[in-house]
Structure 1
Amino acid sequence: MAETGLTRASVIAVCEDLLRRGWIRELDVPRKDARTAGTAQKGRPARRFELKARAGVVLGLDIGAATTTAAVADLRGTVLARASGSFRAADIPAEERISVVDRACRQALNDAGESPGKVLAVGAGIAAPVDRAGNVLAAQHFWSLFDVGLRSALLDLHGWPVLLENDANLAALGERWRGSGPGVDDLVVLLAGERLGAGVLESGRLLHGRGGGAGEMGFLAMVEGVGSSDGIASLARQWQAADGGPSSGGTPGARRVFADAAAGDEAAVAILARLSDRMARVVAAIASLLNPEQVVIGGAVADSAAALLPGITAALPRFTATPPRVTVSPLGDAIVTVGAIRHALDFVEANALELELAR
């Protein structure tokens, strides 16, 4: 009543409607303690309600070139179960890619003890630009691999509304919700593993551009000292291999570079210095274009990338007059599914009275 300005009768009427629809439950009113026993109660007795967190569930999907992950969450956003699947090749037929995604969804639902009929919405992130209407921008061959008709397929199979979105955009939603940027309206999240991609929030609103290409990093090929959109993991591996591999032998890789640098290996420390300088230039380019309050390095490399922050922060003033705060995401490789869950919950909240709950 205080929040809405509605009368008690109106609020109770709304609650009764939500009870009938299955969205909330009524709680018992706590009994008075001994100190107030026998005291005359003024006005009508209080009534207490709460959201039925498992009145329905949502799915959050992270669909990459090699693997897909499905997460089931209740209506409070608590993850109940996860399941993953692998694609045998990047260019498999659309039907096979959809089948792998569907199996991961059904496995996650089974592990959560929920039926497909309880799913109210699906947020799905793909490694390709997606416009505001949910259409994939298939201007490059790699992007076209994700244009498989997932929305119509899952709607036909299960009746699920699917909200298709770029993975970096969902990462931005997830980071603002449960990552290092709560409440930050001007936020950029860089997925920085094999290739760089950015999700951009401006005044709390996702930027898509005309065809969904906002946040694509192809322009970095023209930035001095950068030269490509290769990500941290890719470059660490390439540069260590070019140096002859790890000093103590073994296979080059990002984890090995960061571990060797932490142990004081000079070659690995030099690679981290190169990565810090390069990422400072990337962040500066973003800062000059968009002037965000915060830039977050996210994805599977986030845990290791904390070692780059001092170098990035120190170098930024050389490249931009508007350096943002730079952080790493605490969400790890779950960042896209967290954002996908948030996206699905936003849909449920906006359309609650049009959605029918499974009984």
Structure 2
Amino acid sequence: MLSGTAPSTQLVRRVNAGAMLKAMRGAGVVTGTELMASTGLSRATVISICDELVRLGWLRELENQRGTGDYVKGRPARRFVFDDSAASVLGIDIGANKITTIVADMAGTSLAQVTMPFRTYNVSAAERADVLDRIAADAVEKAGVSPDSVLAVSVGVAAPVSRGGEVLTVQEFWKSFDVLRIVSERHGWHVLLENDANLAALAERWQGKAQGVDNLVVMLAGDRLGSGILESGRLLHGQLGGFGELGYLENVDGVGDTYGIAHYAALWGREALESGADTNLRKLCGGDPEALTAEMVFKAAADGDHSALKALDLMALRMARVIGSISTLVNPELVVIAGGVASSAEALLPGIEQHLPDFTFTPPRLATSALGDGIVSLGAIRHALDYVEEHALDLSPASLP
């Protein structure tokens, strides 16, 4: 009986400490009474954990001065403030053509953001490793923080990732590109891996249009489609990290693959050009169909171009099938289209909403993300902060150089 008591007590204490840090982050100066109200913990627990968090360097206790507006009759309330600058975290998005890194403080405030493109389209594991190594160091230097202050690094990858942070073994590329080893061995940081769409879901619920939404699907919909899914506020992974993977779309009529909005907008625009259609797309791409981009198609559609509008109508129907299929499976309240294509995809929403009831009995609300193409690295910051909060009693900013 006793052998199980100490670990259980320590686990509860860690959970309580994480809850208190979450309540204090961004709240300014708080008293023990206010922490009791926001966490539901007893006064003894709150004060005990506050004392420990002060010792570890997470909190600062402020002096109470009699005669100030904070003074009340009797014993002055103890006041604490979360030290946002106690340490830092990194969020990294390893994309197909570039890597983006954000450095943030403990309040989640961005201190620096750096993006580095790859030199070639077909990028080798060695080049990715080189860019990853350089961008992490450059971002920390730009943020003006010490590398030793970094307590956690979260990295988003375009592959299923298990709850234990392992990339699904069938993804051959990630066997040769060992992100954990590159970052942890070269920099000495604790590294977390997560699927990029899952991180996008965390970002959208944290700072985007899904704040307060517990049942959510966020779809990265650029060149490829990927989804991150929250149910009752909890990110879902499945047995091997494959929850939300969209390979099944190959078997959905009218869809057939996992290519995204950017891919098909450009493809159908090129087909219009090659058919000899009278379209403004020709001028936008300088007469070169291979130079046509999704942004050009959306721009032409906004100007009323018939061929571009036809491409968007096809896209709206296709995305209605995609969203309808996943909504039938997981029944979200909200589906957010995210990534670099999100700002343009706003034009698709009326068409998707019109078609959606044909493909699901439970059509969700739809939105496009305003977080831009930095959404994955932002979600990685949230992921890293969650880890730090969960392990706050094991991580001591006061011990950092």
TM-score norm. by structure 2 comes to: 0.83
Quick one: distance in 2 between partners of 1:213 and 1:101? 25
Alignment-derived partner of residue 19 in structure 1? 54
- Once the 2 structures are TM-superposed, how far is the Cα of residue 115 of structure 1 from its aligned partner? 1.2
The equivalent of 1:338 in structure 2 is: 378
Higher helix share: 2
How far apart in 2 are the matches of 1:135 and 1:195?
A: 22
Identity %: 51
1:243-272 CA-to-partner distances (Å, cap 9, x unmatched) read 117143523111111111111111111111
Counterpart position of 1:65: 96
Partner residue, 2:129:
98
Q: Distance in 1 between matches of 2:72 and 2:370?
A: 49
Alignment match, 2:312: 272
Question: Which piece of structure 1 moves more, 258-267 or 43-52?
Answer: 43-52
Letter in 1 for 2:364: P
The aligned runs of 1:121-270 (5 Å cut-off) are 121-141=152-172, 144-145=173-174, 148-244=177-273, 246-250=281-285, 251-270=291-310
Structure 1 residue 19: deviation in Å?
2.0
CA RMSD of aligned residues (A): 2.1
Deviation at 1:6, TM superposition (A): 2.7
| Structure 2: 5+ residue stretches without partners | 1-32, 275-280, 286-290
Residue pair 1:90, 1:145 contacting (<8 A) in 2 also: no
Look up the match of 1:281.
Answer: 321
Quote the Cα distance in structure 2 between the aligned partners of 1:305 and 1:30.
Answer: 56
Cα displacement (A) at 1:65:
2.4
Which residue of the other structure, out of 42, 51, 56, is the alignment partner of 1:6?
42
- Structure 1 unpaired stretches of 5+: none
Counterpart Cα distance in 1 of 2:187 and 2:396: 14
What is the total number of aligned residue pairs between the two structures?
352
Q: What CA distance in whole angstroms lies between the structure 2 residues aligned with 1:339 and 1:282?
A: 23
Q: Which amino acid aligns with 2:314?
A: R
Partners of 2:227 and 2:122 lie apart in 1 by: 24
Conserved? CA contact 2:159–2:171, under 8 Å:
no
Matched-pair contact (CA < 8 Å) for 1:193–1:301: yes
Shift of 1:92: 4.8
Distance 2:88 2:101 in 1: 13
Could you give the per-residue CA deviations for residues 38-95 of structure 1, whole angstroms, max 9, x where no partner exists? xx95211233211110100010000012211110011111111011223334665544
Deviations 1:287-336 (A, max 9, x none): 11111111110000000000100111111111111111111111110110
Q: TM-score, normalised by structure 1?
A: 0.92
Change in CA separation of 1:146 and 1:303 when aligned onto 2, cut-off 3 Å? farther
Measured after TM superposition, the shift of residue 104 of structure 1 is: 0.8
Moved more, 15-24 or 263-272: 15-24
CA distance in 1, matches of 2:312, 2:67: 63
After TM superposition, the structure 1 stretch with the greater mean CA deviation from structure 2, 206-215 or 102-111, is 206-215
Q: 1:348 aligns with which of 388, 397, 401?
A: 388
Q: 1:90–1:202: structure 2 CA closer, same or farther, 3 Å change rule?
A: farther
Residue 121 of structure 2 is aligned to residue 80 of structure 1: no
More deviation in 342-351 or 17-26? 17-26
Query: Alignment partner for residue 340 of structure 2, among 275, 278, 300?
Result: 300
Separation in structure 1 between the aligned mates of residue 182 and residue 218 of structure 2, nearest angstrom: 30
Q: Aligned with 2:380: secondary structure? A: helix
8 Å contact kept, 1:192–1:232: yes
